[in-house]
A and B are shown apart, each in its own frame.
Chain A
Amino acid sequence: MKLAYWMYAGPAHIGTLRIASSFKNVHAIMHAPLGDDYFNVMRSMLERERNFTPVTASVVDRNVLARGSQEKVVNNITRKDQEEHPDLIVLTPTCTSSILQEDLQNFVSRAQMDTQGDVLLADVNHYRYNELQAADRTLHQIVKYYIEKAGKKGELITEKTEQPSVNIIGISTLGFHNQHDCTELKRLMADLGITVNEVLPDGASVHNLKNLTRAWFNLVPYRELGLMTAKYLESEFAIPYVDISPLGVVETARCIRKIQQIINDQGKTVDYEEYINNQTLYVSQAAWFSRSIDCQNLTGKKAVVFGDNTHAAAITKILAREMGIQVVLAGTYCKYDADWFREQVSEYCDEVLISDDNAEIANAIAKHEPAAIFGTQMERHVGKRLDIPCGVIAAPIHIQNFPIGYKPFMGYEGTNQIADLVYNSFTLGMEDHLLEIFGGHDTKEVITKGISADSDLNWDKEAKAELAKVPGFVRGKVKRNTEKFARDRNFSEITLEVMYAAKESVGA
């Protein structure tokens, strides 16, 4: 058992449902107790979805516990088949139903005999995978199923399209800014003269999966979702894939160069260097921003980055490489893929943190006292408590992270959005401090569980007054340094002299 207040990645079935409900005309049936269908609430609220979320529950209640589901699951599948005529029904186990160890595969086979559409059982172990891993697996499972089906019927089209074409794999419902990223990626492909063959899974139809093999290559913009599918397509049909997230100016260029190489390898000569140059220097404002005085002022400022693998790694590189900001800590909650993260960021940050314990992250932030945080909604709240501004760069997210306006993170427009996000976070922080220096609010102290603001040391009147004169954003640090100095030398009272001695000893 583990004491937990908050989790970064949801349970496995959420990942499966995100895939199923991203597809067009695919219905998911959860084998779950009453109340486990809150996925529908999340989708309806966060995405402001106009249509009913195609997820229903085959309710596990006392009777099911006593006698097993028997006909119930089968009936629910066939009923949904008649009501909505979906192309595919995905039966989704939950953590509860997986302990019951019912033979769900058997229900699926039986239901399949009476349904027009196809029926699949999501092959996901609830106690081993989280939301992200489950989504990756489910997408792979569905793609594999339809490719094999088409292969058996001889309907698979392996002939490549005439012009270079791409499958964009990994755009899904409830993904962080996925809709906007998708639009931006399509625009980028159009600029490069590449046709978009299929987008997966969002808005895709299972009937079109047999066309996947026509693409020249696959683009997997997110580390967390789509890699399994891309690797499958590579091993079965030798379709190469690009897994460089086009996030930030340098990475976008790297992604495009990789695409260029892949296309050239397949016998068509393309040269994107001029496009990259033009976009970098004149279309995206990010490169110019790096040179501008605004950004110069950010040089050497400290930041902490935390999020999923894709976004935390990319933002770390952007801050360090493109803006000259010192990333004191970069972290991810994707523990299962920690090696990749370490390899990506280790040269761009002072310290790497792999953890899904929000208290550990909060304490690390308190310890570093960065000028800005880039993290999830949880880090935003930590920032609020510590008076440190925070830009949200990754899920878990709230409704305000599903903006109506066009806000991609990827591609060249994405670089502009990120520059704004970074700059606004830092200037807000600066403004706050200027206010404090000239206006003066009450002393604000750092309150966290790890580092207590209380101390056993006595500050005499003069020292206290002197401390109050220190600007707010470094006051906490001066206080702690002084106390550490006093404790090391067994002073019980802090006077002006002790303060100055401490200051001299740290050389600041």
Chain B
Amino acid sequence: MTVAQEPSALNFECETGNYHTFCPISCVAWLYQKIEDSFFLVIGTKTCGYFLQNAMGVMIFAEPRYAMAELEEGDISAQLNDYEELKRLCLQIKRDRNPSVIVWIGTCTTEIIKMDLEGLAPRLEAEIGIPIVTARANGLDYAFTQGEDTVLAAMAHKCPTQAPKLEAEKEERNAISKLMNFGRKKEEVKQAESEYKDHPPLVLFGSLPDPVVTNLTLELKKQGVKVSGWLPSKRFTELPVIEEGYYTAGVNPFLSRTATTLMRRRKTKLIGAPFPIGPDGTRAWIEKICSVFNIEPQGLEEREAKIWESLEDYIQLIRGKSVFFMGDNLLEVSLARFLIRCGMTCQEIGIPYMDKRYQKAELDLLEKTCKDMGVPVPTIVEKPDNYNQIQRIYAQKPDLVITGMAHANPLEARGINTKWSVEFTFAQIHGFTNARDILELATRPMRRNNNLKELGWEKLVKEEAKI
């Protein structure tokens, strides 16, 4: 062969897309909690509202900062004026909650009736005086966590372009650092700055719980890498400054639109790294960032080894066992890579959507991990077909199936161990410290089995008559 083709042992397949996942509007559930001064307005139908109400469970009762703009027949047939209707609702939200930003979530229905949310937003924004961010997180185009991606990509446009400069403090480059150092003496600030190596500003993107944000920020600080900002921040009013030439890195595998927006529209440089999930991923993530900034990482190998040591009791439960990902939240490749490093084998990684460019480093690490551990590389099945997958599960009899709630109970009743995939989205799984939480989830069915093994109740459905 003359063409220099990149050798890849990974096998990619694409099925019918008949699979179960959450609708991407579910992202409002964690984003409204993350961005404290926001209000999320989902413009859709009863179907969307009923989904949120059921998926969010008890959260719905806590007077959440989100609501449905429920479309009625008059809206669909354009007997009512979209602009006037949205204005009425947004004024009501402003009066009751006074948020710093209203995020409009476009749905399947607004797509089909071609409601021009992007066009209406700037007009209404000017009229009511509250920024409006428009995200099309609909089930026609996206799956589950990709909803966050569409919101963050829209937010990336709202990040300030330049740090506001004051006459007396022209040397202060960054508004955020100034804010953080507000009230401190000059010398202290300088000293704090000197803990960091000299490198261009780095902005991280991806919504994580605050403790995880602190944790990852400190991990980088240990290497002298300073995080200038985080998209999203705790408050909309604190969105980071993003100037041309800044560096950015993603913390989650489903943020490809946000990455693209930051590169193309905000002219930043993307650091393509594996994601900081599991100690192996976290180390690779930090190493990659350091290498881009020409920093020699310190003490990472020992840190990783120590974490692995502390996980040994959990790893014993899954070593040599097999795992099957049905695929619904795009975390699958990173989780599979980590579990293979823990000694598991993986037959299939189902995934809703595979961005081979954004996930390149993660895929490479997966391949390398398989080689290092001496296990066959899994097949990556994009847009899986749940029915076919269940036939393959029956045939391969994996020790653990990571799947959505629609299939979990029926599989358990047939003696197949499952772990509900959505929990990985809501649990804290990033960084060195949280590796234990991932295994806490993944080993739970094994621990349950150990507790109940004496009973001999595994298959709890009557054998179906063969036709």
**A residues with CB within 8 A of B:** 1-7, 10-11, 13-14, 32-38, 40-42, 44-45, 48-53, 56-62, 65, 76, 83, 85, 94-96, 99-100, 126-128, 130, 378, 381, 396, 398, 449
Contact B111 A65 (CB under 8 A): yes
B195 at the A interface (CB under 8 A): no
- Distance (whole angstroms) from the CB of B74 to the closest CB of chain A: 9
**Known contacts A38-B55, A45-B409; A61/B109 CB under 8 A:** no
Hey, what's the 0/1 contact readout for B76-91 against A, CB within 8 Å counting as 1?
Answer: 1000100001101100
Q: Which chain A residues lie closer than 8 Å to B413 at the CB level?
A: 50-51
Docked Cα-Cα span, A468 to B192, in Å, equals 52
Contact A1 B387 (CB under 8 A): no
Q: Which chain A residues lie closer than 8 Å to B461 at the CB level?
A: 50-51
Q: Which chain A residues lie closer than 8 Å to B143 at the CB level?
A: 34-35
B452 at the A interface (CB under 8 A): no
User: Which chain B residues in 439-467 approach chain A with CB under 8 Å?
Assistant: 460-461, 467
- Distance (whole angstroms) from the CB of B47 to the closest CB of chain A: 5
Across the interface, name the chain B residue whose C-beta is closest to A14. Answer: B50
B113 in complex: contacting residue of A13, A32, A57, A99, CB < 8 Å: A99
Contact B54 A48 (CB under 8 A): no
B120 at the A interface (CB under 8 A): no
Which of A42, A52, A378, A396: most chain B CB closer than 10 A?
Answer: A52
B12 at the A interface (CB under 8 A): no
User: Which chain B residues in 312-349 approach chain A with CB under 8 Å?
Assistant: none
Across the interface, name the chain A residue whose C-beta is closest to B111. Answer: A65
B21 at the A interface (CB under 8 A): yes
A60 in complex: contacting residue of B24, B68, B108, B390, CB < 8 Å: B108
B68 in complex: contacting residue of A5, A33, A36, A128, CB < 8 Å: A5
Docked Cα-Cα span, A2 to B42, in Å, equals 11
Contact B47 A41 (CB under 8 A): no
**Known contacts A1-B71, A1-B85, A5-B60; A37/B406 CB under 8 A:** yes
User: Which chain B residues in 254-311 approach chain A with CB under 8 Å?
Assistant: none
- Distance (whole angstroms) from the CB of A422 to the closest CB of chain B: 23
**Known contacts A38-B55, A53-B406, A94-B47; A3/B69 CB under 8 A:** yes
Contact A99 B23 (CB under 8 A): no
A95 in complex: contacting residue of B20, B21, B57, B109, CB < 8 Å: B109
B53 at the A interface (CB under 8 A): yes
A62 in complex: contacting residue of B69, B75, B141, CB < 8 Å: B141
Docked Cα-Cα span, A49 to B412, in Å, equals 10
- Distance (whole angstroms) from the CB of B450 to the closest CB of chain A: 22
B140 in complex: contacting residue of A62, A76, A94, A130, CB < 8 Å: A62
- Distance (whole angstroms) from the CB of B217 to the closest CB of chain A: 33
User: Which chain B residues in 1-52 approach chain A with CB under 8 Å?
Assistant: 17-18, 20-25, 43, 45-47, 49-51
Q: Which chain A residues lie closer than 8 Å to B71 at the CB level?
A: 1
Contact B47 A44 (CB under 8 A): no
B67 in complex: contacting residue of A5, A11, A127, CB < 8 Å: A5
Across the interface, name the chain A residue whose C-beta is closest to B93. Answer: A3
**B residues with CB within 8 A of A:** 17-18, 20-25, 43, 45-47, 49-51, 53-55, 57, 60-61, 64, 67-73, 75-76, 80, 85-86, 88-89, 92-93, 96, 108-109, 111-113, 138-144, 387, 390, 404-410, 413, 460-461, 467
Contact B22 A1 (CB under 8 A): no
Contact B144 A35 (CB under 8 A): yes
- Distance (whole angstroms) from the CB of A28 to the closest CB of chain B: 13
Contact B45 A95 (CB under 8 A): yes
Closest 7 CB pairs of A and B: A35-B23, A33-B139, A40-B406, A50-B413, A11-B46, A381-B61, A35-B139
A-B contacts, 9 of them at CB < 8 A, read A5-B64, A32-B139, A34-B23, A34-B142, A35-B23, A44-B408, A60-B108, A96-B109, A449-B96
A126 in complex: contacting residue of B45, B86, B111, B139, CB < 8 Å: B45
Q: Which chain A residues lie closer than 8 Å to B387 at the CB level?
A: 56, 83
Which of A38, A40, A49, A53: most chain B CB closer than 10 A?
Answer: A38
Docked Cα-Cα span, A130 to B47, in Å, equals 10
Docked Cα-Cα span, A94 to B92, in Å, equals 29
Which of A14, A32, A37, A76: most chain B CB closer than 10 A?
Answer: A37
**Known contacts A38-B55, A56-B18; A1/B76 CB under 8 A:** no
Docked Cα-Cα span, A42 to B55, in Å, equals 9
Contact B407 A34 (CB under 8 A): no
Contact A44 B409 (CB under 8 A): yes
Docked Cα-Cα span, A332 to B6, in Å, equals 65
B20 in complex: contacting residue of A6, A7, A40, A65, CB < 8 Å: A40
Q: Which chain A residues lie closer than 8 Å to B460 at the CB level?
A: 50
Q: A7-B53, A65-B111 are in contact. List 9 more A-B contacts (CB 8 A).
A: A3-B92, A34-B142, A44-B410, A50-B461, A52-B407, A60-B108, A60-B140, A85-B467, A96-B112
Q: Which chain B residues lie closer than 8 Å to A128 at the CB level?
A: 73
**Known contacts A3-B92, A42-B54; A36/B47 CB under 8 A:** yes
Contact B49 A7 (CB under 8 A): yes
Contact A378 B61 (CB under 8 A): yes
Contact A6 B22 (CB under 8 A): no
- Distance (whole angstroms) from the CB of B462 to the closest CB of chain A: 9
B109 in complex: contacting residue of A7, A14, A51, A99, CB < 8 Å: A99
Contact A11 B139 (CB under 8 A): no
Across the interface, name the chain A residue whose C-beta is closest to B69. Answer: A1
